[in-house]
Structures are given as C-alpha cells and as structure tokens.
Structure 1
Amino acid sequence: MTQPPQQPPQPPNGPPSGGFGASKESPAGGYGTPAPPPNTPPAGSPPPNTPPVPPQMPPQAPQTPPAGGPPAGPPQAGSSQGPVYGYPQAQPPQPGYGYPQQQPGAPGYGFPQQQPQQQPQQQPQQQPGAPAYQYPTQPMQPQPGSTGGGAGGGKFGIDAKIITAAVIAIVLIVAAGFVYSAGKGDKETNVSTAGPIGRDDNNGGDTAGTGGKEKVPANTNSKVLFQLPAPKVSDVTGVDGSWTTDKLYVKSGVDAVYGYDAVSGRQVWKLPLPGPLCAATSHVSKDDKTAIAFQPKVPTKAKQFWGCSEVAALDLDSGKLLWQKSYKDGDDKVSVDEVTLGGDTVATGSTHGGAAWGLEKGELRWAPKVSTDQCEDAGYGGGATTLVAVRKCGDYDSPQISVQNLNPKTGAPLSSFKMPAGVEYAHIVSTDPLVVAADVGDTAGDGSGISDYFSVDAKTGKLRARIPAQADKYGGKCGSTEVEQCTNLVVGDDRLYVPTEQHDGTGDAIGQTNEIVAFDLGTGKAVPGRADAGAGYTSYPVRMDGSNVIAYKTGPYNKGGQVVSVNGSTLKQTLLMNNPSDEAVRGAESTFLPDSAEIRYVDGRLYLADDTLSEYTSSDSEKHYLAIGFGTS
C-alpha cells in the first residue's frame, strides 16, 4: 500500500514448450531438490503420450483470453477432464519432498528440530516399495514363490484365479461408477491431496475440517462469474484495494471505487475520486467499513504525482465516504505511505510520522510527533481490536527499530519490543498474536524482505520465539519498506503458516510443486506434517477460516487453479474449488501472480484482482482483466 511503483511489473515467465501455465523451474541443484529419476521428462513438460499443444504466445507475455473474454462457464465435468487429481500413482511412491532424513542431527525439510535431551520416536526407515510420507498404500504385489503369476512365476491356483477375478470385477465396477459420476458433472468427491480426505467422501454442504465456516460445495467445479476489463493507463498506476461483503465485491479502479454484485458482477455503485487511489487496507470492520487514501487531483504531464494526502473512511455497502482528512508538515500536506484499520482507528504511516482518526466520525486521535531522541512511528499494523506501531529512532543510516502494541484510541504504548541490530524495516505479519518479519543484516538475499520471524508477547513485549526463514526453503514476501504489506503468510491458532519454495516433484510427478508448513509461535519449532500442493500445483496461504487455512493453488500447464481448506492442526486438505481447465480461462487466471495479486475467497467464491496497472495491461493485442470472479454451484 504505497505510492505507485517506479518500475512496471514484469510479465510472468512464458510457459515451457509443453503448454501455458507450467510452473517456473527452480535452479538446478537447489536445496532439497531431489534429482529426477532416469528417463524422467523435464519438469514442466506434458505427460507422456499427451497430444501436442498448439504454439503459445512468445515467452515473457502471459496468454490471455480472446477479445470475447472467457466463456460464461466451464465445460461440464467429464467433457474434457481426466480422473480427479490426487489419486495414487501405480508406481511405488518415493519418499516425499521434505521427508525426514535418517542421518542423526539432520532434520528433514519443513520438520521440527530435535529437542535437546529428548528421544523422539524414530521414523521407520523407508524400505523398497514402502509408501512415502502420508501417501496411500499400494496393492500388494505377488511375492516370489507365491501362486501369483509374472515372469518366471508358477501356475495360477484355483484360489488365486478366484481372487484375481474378484479384484478385476471390483476395479471395473469402481471405474464404471467413477466415469458415470464424472459424466453427470453434478457432484465431485472431495479429495485431499495430502493424505486422507475430509470427514466424508461426499460431504457437500459440510464445513471443511472442523474449525472453519467455509462449506464444501456439492460440486467443486467452478465457473467464471464475471470479468472486469483492465482500464487503459499510460503509465504504472496503483489500484490497491479489494473487499467483500455479504452481497458485494468491491474493487478500486484508477480514480474511482466500484461495488459489484458478488455473483453476477453487475455494477451496484460507483464512487468517483478526485485523484487516483494510492493506498488501501484489507481490514474491514464488522459493519463493512474500511479505509483508503488517494491523490487530491488527477495527475498531468506537468504534475505526475500530487501526493497521497487524502485519507478517508469508506462504507462498502453504500459506496459513500464517511469523511475525508489530511494533515500537514509545515505548509505542505503529508503524503502517506500506508493506511490501516486497527479496532475503530484509521492509522497512516509516512516519512513524517504517523497519524490516526476515529473510524466513524474522523476525529483526530494523534498527529506526528518527533521526540527528542528522533523517534517517530513509521507505520502501523491493524486488526479487529489491535493496533501495532513500528517505531523508528536515531539516524537514517543506522536506525533502531521497535514494535509497540498501542491503545488504538489514544496511541499510548502498552508494550514495546526492541528489534535486533541490523534491522532497517520491520513488517507486521499479524497483530494478534503478534508476529513480525524482518531481514536482519540484509541476509535474506532473495528480495523477500524476510530472514527471520519474531513471535512477540503483545502484553509484555517479550520475545517468545525467533524463527529463521531460510530463503532457499521458505516462501512468503514482505514489501521492502512497507510495514503491513506481507503476502502468502497466514497466522492463526498460535501458528505461522508459510509455503515452501518450489521444487521438482518426486517420482514420476511432472512439473514443480511445493508445500505449506507450520511453525509453533510459542516454541519456534516446525510442526510435524505438511500440506502438499500436488504435482504441477503451487500452494499459497490466503487467510484463516476459524482454525483452518484457506489456500489458493496455481495450476499446472493444463489445469486451472484450486482452493483448498487446510486443517490447521493436521494439515490435511479438503478441496473447495476446482477452476476450469479451458485454455482461455487458464490463460486469464495465470496473469494474476500470487505474490502481488489480491486474492479473496468467501462463501464459495474466489476473486483474483490486480493491484497495479501498466501499459502492458493496456495492450490492444491481448485482453487483460482488472479482476475475475469464480464460483461453485
């Protein structure tokens, strides 16, 4: 939530020759990346015997739908889709990525470190043909010397023939039933891609897992609800802001905010602004109010930026501004960098210090103040009832950063935690519980802004745990200077959920994949288990749903994305949405990159939106969208 970036966003990498949408290859020899088995196709190539895919657009430009846009809905289930992804392969599974190693003192990727002076139960050593971590077991194969057939085997006995015939009959019955179910297209079994399925094989209408409000639909196959064309712009333009209510999807445009019917996409209201919107918070009050910031005038060639000076509270139901405020440093209005909502307080951060107003009436609660020790609030992290400040003291070149839990009404600090030396910028991942991310000593090296997470007791200001975030292992990203601009990270139930970096799939899996892992915020240790994205899919945490995690998965080259609910305790998954695999819809969906896209999922509907527009999105040769909505029936 900052001023418009100085460089236009780069288009996603083009697909491999196998087709559009395949995940980007990780560098060869990366940490934890198993070498592919002999005769294995390269990551990202289509499966064997797959008909050739028509040539795609040149690399470096994402494929998008034709001028007519995506079809009104996806093809009926069974018309072109194969078996439901996630069923076990016929080959004996290999040890999954991140499976604990057997060497003493070398814990597996994503698994907890060994506690001192403890003797944890040892993982059983993998035997040839044994199932990998949490994968379904395979049918037993005839052993040498048994009555089973095979090369060099003995003759079939009567019992063996009866058993074989029975097995074949069962397989045919099950296969026929699956084909019939897929052909009808009115119901889909909820398949977990990591271990057992949810509470019920056909739990349409049930709550995913045990702690969430999102329901598993009767048919998880989605259709396109609507598409919002991208406005034409001549330069890089920020369009921060996506919100949902019970009835509306609200999205910011260039110099206006629009309210759309959540299902049909019909425009319900439009709020014109005097200048481009330049900052917004994702936090929403219980009565559907939020905060935004915008420029006071429309930029011109002579004056391309008027400052992000106007702060306002927005009623998402009516599309009306409750109030509009600004504040000055001397004779000039202050240009804010971010805006957030903590309890009933709208708070802004800037290079001149922080200011805050009441949400309902806009009364000033505090203004920037520079103390005698050169301390000022750089920005704030919000929450339903909490507000946390990142306070910067000292010289610009060697600042001392602290994180303060505030009284949202007065701004008085309730506790303070001093960040370690070498931290120039602190990022608030969560205010309740309090989790801070930082790049200590610029050691992350991957542009993520995260080398460590700090779990802090908000009441006392004491450190609970420090969690290293190795750049070659874990994903997640925070804005370089922003206080509250972290993506693909979720906190809930005193756990931190992060994605791992992409890596090659194991065994015969084609394409790259990743997992979601969790850390205990009390101990800092990794929690056993993981949520595997599946071959060709990459999974990103979006938000908490009770004690569950809602995650969005980008699909492989020939499939749409998915939404799953991950049980916060067991990390088992339940499928909530499976997006269309049509080429046009896939191409449009793949333009929304999870690191920068605004991803919202609520009540069986998924909204993907851009936060930045450019000349690239205004290209006349390809269709680009500001936002796309998907829904299940």
Structure 2
Amino acid sequence: MTQPPPPMPPHQPPRTPQIWDTDINQRSSAPPGFGPPPPVFGGGDTGGGGSGGNGGSGRVRRKALLIVLALALIAGLGAGGWLLWGRTGEKPGPQAKPTAPARVDTRLDWLVRNPDKDKDAEANGTPKKPVTWFAHGNAIRTRARDITAYDVRKGTERWSIPLPGVLCAAARKPDGDTVAVLYSKTSKTGDDCNSLMAVDLGSGRKKWDAPLPLNNPLNTDYGDPQILMFRGKVKVMGSSESATFAADDGRVLDHPKLRVSDNCMEHRASTDGKTLLSVLGCSLGDGRAFVQRIDPETGKEVWTWKVPDGLEVRGVPSVDPVVVSVSRRDRSDEITDLISISPEGRTRAIISLTGNGNAFDAIVRGDTVYLSSQGQETADHTQENRIIAIDLANGEKRWESKAGGNRVSTPLGFVGDRPLVYQIAQSGEGGKLVTLDPRDGAAAVIKRMPAESAEEERNVAFMGQVYFEDDRLFIFGEPGNRNEHLALSFA
C-alpha cells in the first residue's frame, strides 16, 4: 500500500480548490488521451575486455599450474557449473545455486461436466455474473441455485450448498472463511433480492440467513445490489437503501436512511483489505455523486471527491492508487472513461476509453493501468487485440503490445510487477499465459496449454472467467452456457 504523503512544508503554496461543479462537456481543453509512444526502453550491451598474465620461475611450475586448472575445470563441469572468473581477473563473489527452469508446457488436469447443459434456463434461474473463491484446497463457485466446491487437484466435488432461492449477487472477497451471498426467495428471474446468507468456506456449511431490512415499505429490495465484506462486516448497498451486518452472526449493525446531507446514499464500495472507498449517489434527478475515502479504523471520511457532472461511477478498478471507471450520461450503456484520483482526493487524469481500452479487464500496479483493447479480425479470420499501458499521472499511453501473439489477450493480475495475461486458445493451439515487461510490454511465455484440448478450452473460456492460482490455470464457463463442460484446470 502506498504510504500517506508527508506533511506539507510550511511555505508551500496553497492547494488549488476542488472543482465541485464541473460539467465534463464544458472543459476548456480536451481530457488527456493516448499520446505518442514513449522512447524505447533498454540499455546498450555491456562487455569487458583484457587478459591476465601470470609469470613463473620455470617449466615445472607452469606445467603444475596447467594441471591444477584443468582438474578444476573438469570438476566444475562435472558439477554442472563453470569456473567463475571475470575477464578482469577479479575473484567472483558468492553465487546463487542454479534453479531448474519452471515447466512451460502444461497438461489438462481435469474437467467438470456442465450440470446445466440440458436444463431449462428459466427453471434454473436467470444467469448472474458468478463469483469464484479459492480456499482450503478448493475452487468454490457460485451458480444460480447453489454454491459448490471443487478439489483444485482432482476437480471432484467436495461439497455443495443449495440456495433457498435464485442467486442475485455475492461478495467478491471473503472475510476470513466467511462469505455472503444475496438471493431471491420469490422470483425465478433473480428480482426482489431481499435475503442474505453467509457460508463458511472451510466447513461448507451455512452460517446464518437474514432478510434485508427495508426503510421504505414500498421497496421490495435495494435495487442493483452489491455486497462487500470488510473487517468482520457485510455491507449490502443498492440504489435505494443500504445496510451493514455482522459477519459472524448476521446482526444488523447499521441501516441508515441518509448517508450525507441532501438524500445521498452509499451505492457501492470497494476495498483492498486496508483502504475503503465508498461511492455515494444523491436523490433522483439531482445527478450529484461522490467518492469518499474512509478511515477503516474510525469510519470517518478522509476526503470526498465529487464526480464531474455528466458522469456516473460504474466501478473501482483500483483502490490504491484510486482509479474509478465512469460512463457519460448520454452513453450509459458503456464505460467511457477512467479517472485517476490523487492520495489527497483530487483529479489527476481523465483517460478516454472510446475505441481503445476495455475497463472491465483493467488492472493497476504502481502508476500504470493496463487495459485490453477491443478484438479485431485478422486476415486469417482470427481475433486479436493489444494490451495498452497508460500513465495514471497524465493519461498518456506508455506502450501497446500484442503480448507476443496474434490472439485475444486478457489481463488477469500480476506476477511480481509484471502484468499477467491470458491468451485464449486458437484452432489447433492451446492458450498461453504470458507476463509483460512493465517497461516496454515485451512478452515472456510462462504457461502453454496443450493443443489437444484447445477447442474445449476455447469454448469454456469464451465469455467465461480465467484464474491463475498456485501455479494452476482454472477456466470456468459463463452461467447458462450449453457447453459440455463447466470448468477445466491445467497444471
């Protein structure tokens, strides 16, 4: 986590006041977009020269020295190493033992048949975006009417918990071993989501079940709900109401009518486990919205950032540094921009995504956001796209990369500081996992899936979700699909 900024020196010029009422369409200059590519990173080759001489007092000493060197060289080669003298003749320092290279080629470890393949979609519930958790050696997956755990090594079912209704939403991250899901008892289509259930991921048992409290008797649910778990609490937020529950027993801890003045309610929240961001929207027709950073210890506001007029917050790709995704009001069906926010709660850069990046797959590390561009058809009728790196300080493009292959690539996360990218399988060729050099986007393959399962891999990965955990690749299909298999794993 980034450390808080140091105190401002005594003679620092006053900060520019926050612009509270700025319409994005009335900016005096266009927001920063993708600039020209930066200079190529990298340094020149290095090398050394010179030779060392050694004298001797006679032919015998020279012959003895040659014998000793030859024996040492043979011993070094026999041990799998080399003599480690530099060209300058200096003695070497301590050397790390060589490690075996990681295996790049993988095998298809297991498949899980799709239990919904031949079921009626309406009877099984309207498909919702599923959530997957990894805990206790299991990959645990939500489905329309149950939560099921699969052994990560075998793919066999460990346990399954039926839901008392149709799934509406689930917390993306558990709190310890506790996770909460929202469901509808009365609707087959996933509407009227007014019941909350907590599950223990270790035992695979239900912990508690509770109805959502309602301030307005005319409400049937909270409207477009989201669940967030944070430090022993479960927050359920929607467009009309919100409530906070105790994660251990489901007690209602908070059910506010108002969050701040003028009918502003908490609609969404996001956390990395250390920092909490809250998104607030105000009364219908008002149009005002805010993002607040909250002190997790005290629950008090650290700063408040007003969303520029004409924009609506759609998500929070990163909490530290703060990055929010937004839609323009006249194009609410798509995410149109990313906005980076400073540690003091001020706008840094507005990054336009139109025709370029895809905010749904955005990952952030340091001062860079990595996006996948829209796919384009190639001459041989396959799809390809690029990974784009953008500077969060000024919104300028740092580089773009095909990630080492002409195929569709999706950012998954990071291996160290290197972005991790999944490249979907093509006809006769399995998918790949590659990492990218954060300086210039140069790709290195770390996992290659087998060609024999390429077709099934592609079918499941298309519109599905991909995870890389404990050196294994997991692919889960989209709910409601009619593929033969629900999930695959490669090791």
The answer to whether 1:390 aligns with 2:275 is no
Summarize the Cα distance change of 1:567–1:403 in structure 2 as closer, same or farther, 3 Å threshold: same
Does residue 488 (structure 1) correspond to residue 355 (structure 2)? The answer is no
CA distance in 1, matches of 2:184, 2:405: 45
Q: Is the 8 A contact 2:173 2:179 kept in 1?
A: yes
Match of 1:548 in 2: 418
Of 458, 461, 466, which aligns to 2:345?
Answer: 461
Question: Which position in structure 2 is the counterpart of 1:587?
Answer: 455
Aligned to 1:348: 236
- The AA in structure 2 aligned to 1:551 is V
CA distance in 1, matches of 2:469, 2:412: 11
Partner Cα separation in structure 1 for residue 247 and residue 179 of structure 2: 8
Specify which of 363, 371, 381 is matched with residue 270 of structure 2.
381
Residue of structure 2 in register with 1:472 after alignment: 355
1:524 matched to 2:395? The reply is yes
Counterparts in 2 of 1:353 and 1:335: CA distance versus 1, 3 Å: closer
- Find the aligned partners of 1:441 and 1:334 in 2 and give their Cα distance: 25
- How much does 1:356 deviate? 2.0
Amino acid at match of 1:240: P
Give secondary structure in 2 for the equivalent of 1:590.
Answer: helix
For residues 416 and 404 of structure 2, what CA distance do their matches in structure 1 show?
A: 24
> What is the DSSP-based 3-state SS (H/G/I as helix, E as strand, rest coil) of the residue aligned with 2:358?
coil
The CA deviation at 1:578 is: 1.8
Note if contact 2:235-2:242 (Cα within 8 Å) is conserved in structure 1.
Answer: yes
Report the Cα distance in structure 2 between the residues aligned to 1:580 and 1:498, rounded to whole angstroms.
27
Are residue 233 (structure 1) and residue 120 (structure 2) matched?
A: yes
Structure 1 residue 631 corresponds to structure 2 residue 487? no
Q: Does 1:222 align with 2:107?
A: yes
Cα contact 1:576–1:604 (8 A) shared by 2 = no
**Does the Cα contact within 8 Å between 1:491 and 1:544 map onto a contact in 2?**
no
Runs of 4+ in 1 over 6 A off after TM superposition: none
What's the counterpart of residue 45 of structure 2? Answer: none
Letter in 2 for 1:597: G
Alignment partner of 1:275 is 2:147: no
TM-superposed CA distance for 1:605, in Å, is 1.5
The alpha carbon displacement at 1:358 in A equals 3.5
Question: TM-score if structure 1 supplies the norm length?
Answer: 0.57
Q: Which amino acid aligns with 1:321?
A: K
Deviations 1:135-190 (A, max 9, x none): xxxxxxxxxxxxxxxxxxxxxxxxxxxxxxxxxxxxxxxxxxxxxxxxxxxxxxxx
1:579 and 1:630 in contact (8 A); partners too: no
CA contact (8 A) 2:34 2:395 kept: no
Per chain length, whose mean CA-contact separation is higher, i.e. which structure has more relative contact order (CA < 8 Å, sep 6+)?
1
Residues 1:452 and 2:337 aligned together: yes
How has the CA–CA distance of structure 1 residues 290 and 572 changed in structure 2, closer, same or farther, with 3 Å as cutoff? Answer: farther
Structure 1 counterpart of 2:443: 573
- Kindly report the root-mean-square deviation, in angstroms, between the aligned alpha carbons of the 2 structures: 3.1
- Helix, strand or coil at the partner of 2:414: strand
CA distance in 2, matches of 1:384, 1:552: 26
Using the TM superposition, give the Cα deviation of residue 391 of structure 1 relative to its aligned residue in structure 2, in angstroms: 0.8
Larger Rg: 2
SS in 2 for 1:424: strand
1:294 counterpart = 2:183: yes
Give structure 1 stretches of 5+ with no counterpart.
1-109, 115-119, 124-132, 135-202, 207-216, 477-486
2:465 equivalent to 1:598:
yes
Change (3 A) 1:556 1:293: same
How far apart are the structure 2 equivalents of 1:467 and 1:400? 21
The alpha carbon displacement at 1:539 in A equals 0.6
Following the alignment from structure 2 to structure 1, what is the Cα–Cα distance between the partners of residues 34 and 99?
33
Distance of 1:323 and 1:461 partners within structure 2? 38
Does residue 497 of the first structure (1) align with residue 383 of the second (2)? no
Q: Is the 8 A contact 1:393 1:401 kept in 2?
A: yes
What secondary structure sits across from 1:388 in the alignment? strand
Distance, in Å, in 1 between the alignment partners of 2:327 and 2:355 is: 14
Deviation at 1:589, TM superposition (A): 2.4
Preserved CA contact (<8 Å) 1:247 1:261? yes
Rounded to whole Å, the distance in 2 between the matches of 1:295 and 1:589 is 33
Q: Distance in 1 between matches of 2:414 and 2:178?
A: 20
Residue equivalent to 2:301: 413
Q: Give yes or no for contact 2:166–2:190 (8 Å, CA) kept in 1.
A: no
Q: CA deviation at 1:417?
A: 0.8
Is 2:282 the counterpart of 1:399? no
Q: In 2, distance between residues paired with 1:313 and 1:407?
A: 26
Which one-letter code corresponds to 1:533 in the other structure? A
My pick for the range that moved more, 349-358 or 248-257, is 349-358
2:317 aligns to what? 429
- Distance of aligned partners of 1:500 and 1:369 in 2 relative to their CA distance in 1, 3 Å threshold: same
Q: Which residue in 2 is equivalent to 1:51?
A: none
Once the two structures are TM-superposed, the CA of residue 535 in structure 1 deviates from its matched residue by 4.5
Instruction: State the SS of the aligned residue for 1:496.
Output: strand
Within 5 Å, which residues of 2 pair with 1:95-106? none
* Partner Cα distance (1:561, 1:578) in 2: 6
- 2: CA distance, partners of 1:278 / 1:379: 15
SS of the aligned residue for 2:234 comes to strand
Q: Aligned pair in 2 of structure 1 residues 575, 316: CA closer, same or farther (>3 Å)?
A: farther
**C-alpha distance in 2 between matches for 1:495 and 1:241:** 26
Change (3 A) 1:631 1:463: same
Q: Identity of aligned pairs, percent?
A: 21
Give the Cα separation in 1 of the matches to 2:375 and 2:121.
34
Q: How far apart are residue 327 of structure 1 and its match?
A: 1.7
Partners of 1:315 and 1:531 in 2: CA distance: 42
Offset from partner CA, 1:507-556 (integer Å, 9 cap, x none): x98744222121222232222x4332344411111123332222111133
Are residues 288 and 309 of structure 1, via their aligned partners in 2, closer, same or farther at CA, if it must alter by over 3 Å?
same
Give 1:329's aligned residue: 215
**Counterparts of 1:319 and 1:575, CA distance in 2:** 36
Q: Secondary structure at the residue paired with 1:328?
A: coil
1:416, 1:610 → 2: CA distance? 39
Output one character per residue of 1:13-51: Cα deviation in whole Å (capped at 9) or x when no partner.
xxxxxxxxxxxxxxxxxxxxxxxxxxxxxxxxxxxxxxx
- Given that 1:604 and 1:631 are in contact with CA atoms closer than 8 Å, whether structure 2 keeps it comes out as no
**CA distance 1:257–1:305, shift in 2 (3 Å):** closer
* AA partner of residue 269 (structure 1): W
Deviation at 1:422, TM superposition (A): 0.7
| Cα distance change of structure 1 residues 342 and 531 upon mapping to structure 2, 3 Å threshold | farther
TM-score, normalisation: structure 2:
0.72
* Residue identity in the other structure for 2:362: L
User: Which residue type is aligned with residue 328 of structure 1?
Assistant: L
8 Å CA contact 2:314–2:325 kept in 1: the answer is: yes
Find 2:254's aligned residue among 363, 366, 370.
Answer: 366
Q: Contact 2:307/2:313 (CA < 8 Å) preserved in 1?
A: no
Could you tell me how far 1:440 is from its partner in structure 2? 2.5
SS in 2 for 1:442: helix
Is 2:242 the counterpart of 1:357?
no
The offset of 1:259, in angstroms, is 1.1
Residue identity in the other structure for 2:269: Y
Amino acid aligned to 2:252: L
SS in 2 for 1:421: coil
Query: Aligned pairs, how many?
Result: 395
- Between Structure 1 and Structure 2, the one with more strand by share is 2
Aligned partner letter, 2:489 = F
In structure 2, what is the Cα distance between the partners aligned to 1:330 and 1:395? 15
